[in-house]
Structure 1
Amino acid sequence: MSAPDDQTRAAHLLDLARAAGCRIATAESCTGGLIAGALTDLPGSSDIFDRGLVTYSNTAKESLLGVDPDTIRLFGAVSEEVALQMADGALSRSDADMAVAVTGVAGPGGSDAKPEGRVCFGLARIGHATHTETVEFGAIGRRHVRAATVAHALELLIAALDS
């Protein structure tokens, strides 16, 4: 079950998406389906949730979302370039109107180039350019990085529907 704040966010998102007639898809790596879980914890989520794709491995990102292997090779799986292709892939391979994607280093560990707590987000919407951003949550622990990622992804979706 998602945290109470995530339930509030998800309920607000559900209301906004329902009012807009918008369906949502997710493409998740570091969260392993937690965003989809937060959305489907709520009754009535079938009104707005189309599908969630957990693409933890690079092979899954390539085969299920169409991420270019060269993009992974050049930029790494944790990059805005990959998040963009994940979001675009989820949108094009679903019946959704918008898709959010996440890829990151939940921890423990990381590197100087890709530190623990770095998460890249992609937000694809029909008729809009795909938005990407990177958030540095810091070395706050795996569970906390994943929870912060879910909260931020829900906020991105809410902001897109509020605009």
Structure 2
Amino acid sequence: MTHLLPKKIAELAERVVAENRAAGRKVVVAESCTGGLVAAALTEVAGSSAVFERGFVTYSNDAKVEMLGVSKDIIDAFGAVSVACVYAMAQGALARSKADVAVAISGIAGPDGGSEEKPVGTVVFARMVRGSDKPEAEHKVFAEKTRDGVRLQATLSALELLLP
């Protein structure tokens, strides 16, 4: 099979689909800095329709508010690249889907847009499982600072969070 994405991402996506299919789980993604790469990786896998319920690419703050119901107050207080924002993105994705697990991603892919507090390569993730009151979050600052590098590393991290 020829993959459009790097081999490591394609292999992990195949594993995510296989393991979630075996677990009887559907997944939803809410992406910002990855711009749909997680959804693309999953849907490249034959049979992914048994697992991939839907994806939201909410690149702008307005899209996060309109499509996922993220409170503008959260974005104003903490920024789009914050644990609070990705929690709200994951909650919104679950509420607007029939999926069992959601992963949300927001970050600064660069080359511009970073700050001392949130440098280029900063990416936050949230994972929520329907019915659980224990959301998980990760905050990473990737060493790779190229736009492609940040986006690909974030895609790998998001796929790992989708494993059962």
The alpha carbon displacement at 1:126 in A equals 1.0
How big is the shift at 1:127? Answer: 2.1
Normalising by structure 1, we get a TM-score of 0.95
Identify the match of residue 138 of structure 2 among 133, 141, 152.
Answer: 133
Cα RMSD, aligned residues only: 0.9
Helix, strand or coil at the partner of 1:140: coil
Preserved contact between residue 21 and residue 50 of structure 2 (Cα < 8 Å): yes
TM-score by length of 2: 0.94
The structural deviation recorded for 1:139 is 5.0
CA drift at 1:3:
1.1
Determine whether 1:143 maps to 2:156.
no
SS in 1 for 2:76: helix
**Alignment counterpart, residue 34 of structure 1, candidates 16, 33, 37:** 37
Size of the aligned set, in residue pairs, is: 159
Asked if the contact 2:82/2:124 (under 8 Å) is kept, the reply is: yes
Counterpart CA distance in 2 for 1:7 and 1:87 is 23
Structure 2 residue ranges without an equivalent (≥5): none
- Which of these residues, 18, 39, 56, is aligned with residue 53 of structure 1? 56
Instruction: Give deviations 1:53-83, integer Å, cap 9, x for gaps.
Output: 0000101000100100000000001001001
Residue 133 of structure 1 and its aligned partner are, at CA, apart by 1.3
- Counterpart CA distance in 1 for 2:138 and 2:144 is 19
Task: Decide which of 23, 46, 67 is 1:43's aligned counterpart.
Answer: 46
State the shift of 1:7 in Å: 1.1
Distance in 2 between residues matched to 1:135 and 1:41, nearest whole Å: 26
Say yes or no: does 1:12 pair with 2:15.
Answer: yes
After TM superposition, the runs of 4+ consecutive aligned structure 1 residues lying more than 4 A away are none
Q: 8 Å contact 1:66–1:89 — kept in the other structure?
A: yes
Give the structure 2 partner of residue 83 of structure 1: 86
Give the letter aligned to residue 117 of structure 1.
G
Contact 2:111 2:145 in 1 (8 A): no
Match of 2:102 among 90, 99, 104: 99
